[in-house]
Chain A
Amino acid sequence: MAFDYDKWLRPGKLPHIWCPGCGHGIVMKGLIRAMETLQLKKEETAVVSGIGCASRLPGYIDCCTLHTAHGRAAAFATGVKMAKPEMNVILVGGDGDGTAIGGNHFIHACRRNIDMTYIIMNNYIYGMTGGQFSPCTPTGHKASTTPYGNPDPGFDIAKLAIGAGATFVARGTAFHANQIDKLIVEAIQHKGFSVVEILDDCPTTYGRRNKYKSVIEMMNRLKEVAVPVKAAEKMTAEQLQGKVLTGVLYKEVKPEYIEEYAKVIERAKAAK
């Protein structure tokens, strides 16, 4: 039987706003399959986002959904989760939202290690505002505000998350659609702050400026650059040139913040 996505979608809220060929919908389907696999309770699941095309995702999901301000999803989500620890809290958003305006909240969410999952859709561009360069746009590439090529070096989101203290970091791509839900499932099951970066595409504002002739070409590029971590172990540095590692990149057991705060409460009560 075909998978029933409708069960998780809000009635009457489609069509979505995404362009044909946009990778964000693929990520949403992955998230839905993950929620189904984990049998999450809709009423006890909050999906929180910032602003951007990627951040429109929560509006379609039939849960408690919070579409916040640009960059602020992690900070709102921290409030939700700390006040109601029994809720599953899933953050979604774009590369610009999460690493530029929201970069500070992102690294601090990683550092605190609150039990939440952050799915970051990296299409290398500010899609919603028409294709200005983001902190993830590769050097030399064209955006509406880098007509002569981007002089900025880009972030490696996964490395940033690991460096900042996230205890589960994975990467997938919109091409490897069947892997997305598995990564998200593992991320949600992980106790602590988990980050899943999904490389996807924005044909409308990034693809056309960077000489991609079609969505298929953009998808093929994702296929070509992705190397599963296991496979990479057997490859030379030369072979890995220009490649991007996918799969679970990092996993660590570290004290989770809500559990630590519970100890604070115990100590405060004892001190009364």
Chain B
Amino acid sequence: MSKKVAFLQGNEAAAHGALYAGCNFFAGYPITPSTEVSEVLSAELPKTGGKFLQMEDEIAAMAAILGASLTGAKVLTSTSGPGLSLKQELIGYGCIAEIPCVVYNVMRGGPSTGMPTGPSQSDVMCAKWGTHGDHPAICLVPASVQETYDEVIRAFNLSEKYRTPVMVMPDEIVAHMRERIVFPEPGEVAVTPRKTPTVPPEQYKPYDTSFGDVPPLAAFGSGYKFHVTGLNKMADGFPTTKADIVQAEEERQVRKVDANIDDIVTFEEYLLDDADVVVVAYGSTSRSARYAVNVAREQGIKAGMFRIKTFWPFPDKQIKALAGKVKGIVIPEMNLGMCSLELERCAQGKVPVLGIFRVDGEPINPDQILAKIKEVK
């Protein structure tokens, strides 16, 4: 049997990826350029008894998915720039209370209302530093329609595996372009179930680290009763200010991700084996970068591309290794230099990091990247 194919927009693919992953609850607030996710799910979710809610604002949408997730639902919200800013306090709530959820954010021009229909990659720092306090961050940056579908599924899986919010952040170009997509068969892609308690209700503690860094999470209404708070908490979920417990809990929350970087971080290496120049790119910008690398090769320049698929945690190890091998790193991005900061941190001054920063609502074209590749001496 041949697989089902379709010609879809990135946002539509995201919605279908969520359904494949078992999403049965969505809450959102309309905002360009992400609204198609809401539109598809408002039609699809009720067909299988799922719930679609259009809330009064993005804060409410974030709150609703966290509440629903605590009952065992698999939850998604989608938004863009201004909405992401509004969600931030509760993304932090999801981190500290350790509630699985997926936040899909289409990057448009900012700050503030910025350029609602223009592409951008300027939310990548917001994905890690947007909410206050130390916390884990996972952020995936797909570069095609197919990858948006696949990465939304992976985001659900990671959020369940690590019991933490996961962000998927396509730029507006990826979110709105149409491409062919091949749907996996049911069961073909693994879907990670939530780790639920094996102990009887009387013994259950929602943050019991004797089960590891990711303790099982019971569902409200499943016979377990427990307390959830946004305050620093103890194993039983109740607030504490005891210094040693707070320190240990904060460290564990961050360690859930930091100790599993190799499991989470994904990337693509393109013509890197003999490369003198590496273009590091992500999202739609990587499509121009691939073209530029091909042209550079035709012209006898040993260029390659490292494509970031997981922006957070950042692929430190891989970039550090590349920095020891190449003569220069080129980073095209639709912001005024965000990924480039991370690259400079990883390159530790060993090689120059040359940026192409564009925030005028136009994509970065291959010519710009090729010219920068040629600047590397």
Interface residues of A (CB under 8 A from B): 10, 13, 42-44, 46, 48, 51, 58-59, 62-69, 72, 75-80, 82-84, 86-87, 104-105, 108, 261, 264-265, 267-269, 271-272
Contact = CB atoms under 8 A, between A and B. Distances in A.
A17 to B, nearest CB: 10
B221 A13 contact: no
B225 interface: yes
Interface stretch (B67-75, B252-260, B295-303, B332-340): B67-75
B93 A104 contact: no
Nearest to B47: A268
Interface in B126-147: none
Interface stretch (B57-65, B114-122, B269-277, B362-370): B57-65
Which of A84, A104, A108, A267 is packed against the most chain B CB atoms within 10 Å?
A84
Chain A to chain B: the 9 pairs with minimum beta-carbon distance, closest first: A79-B67, A75-B63, A79-B64, A268-B46, A83-B68, A75-B60, A79-B68, A76-B67, A67-B229
Given A67-B231, A69-B89, A80-B220, A59 B239 contact: yes
A10 B223 CA distance: 16
B226 interface: yes
B178 to A, nearest CB: 25
A259 B90 CA distance: 28
A80 B72 CA distance: 10
Interface string B244-287: 00000000000000000000000000000000000000000000
B66 A64 contact: no
Interface stretch (B9-17, B48-56, B161-169, B185-193): B48-56
B312 interface: no
A48 B67 contact: yes
Nearest to A80: B67
Given A43-B223, A82-B25, A76 B66 contact: yes
Contacts of B47: 265, 268-269, 271-272
A64 B43 contact: no
B228 interface: yes
B53 A64 contact: no
17 contacts: A43-B201, A64-B220, A65-B227, A69-B89, A69-B90, A72-B59, A72-B90, A76-B63, A76-B67, A79-B27, A83-B67, A84-B71, A87-B71, A104-B56, A105-B60, A108-B55, A269-B47
A66 B228 contact: yes
Interface in B203-219: 219
Contact of B67 (A13, A59, A66, A267): A66
Contacts of B62: 75
A64 B204 CA distance: 12
A68 B230 contact: yes
B254 to A, nearest CB: 20
B contact face: mostly helix, strand, loop, or mixed: mixed
B238 interface: yes
Contacts of B61: 75
Nearest to B60: A75
A265 B229 contact: no
B59 A83 contact: no
A64 B57 CA distance: 26
A72 B227 CA distance: 16
Nearest to A76: B67
B227 A79 contact: no
Contact of B51 (A48, A69, A82): A82
Nearest to A73: B63
Nearest to B46: A268
A104 B86 CA distance: 14
Nearest to B57: A104
B60 A43 contact: no
B237 to A, nearest CB: 9
B68 A265 contact: no
Contacts of B72: 83-84
B183 interface: no
B224 interface: yes
A183 B145 CA distance: 54
A48 B59 CA distance: 16
A58 B219 CA distance: 17
A232 to B, nearest CB: 33
A83 B60 contact: no
A79 B66 contact: yes
Contacts of B90: 69, 72
B156 to A, nearest CB: 16
A12 to B, nearest CB: 9
Nearest to A45: B225
B46 A78 contact: no
B46 A72 contact: no
B64 A67 contact: no
Interface in B347-367: none
A10 to B, nearest CB: 8
Given A66-B70, A76-B63, A87 B57 contact: no
Contacts of B25: 79, 82-83
B220 A78 contact: no
Contacts of B238: 13, 59
Contact of A64 (B63, B69, B89, B226): B226
B225 A43 contact: yes
Contacts of A64: 220-221, 224-226
A84 B64 contact: no
Given A10-B227, A80-B70, 20 more contacts: A48-B67, A58-B227, A59-B227, A63-B225, A67-B229, A68-B67, A75-B63, A78-B63, A78-B67, A79-B64, A79-B68, A79-B69, A80-B68, A84-B72, A84-B220, A104-B56, A104-B57, A105-B60, A265-B46, A269-B46
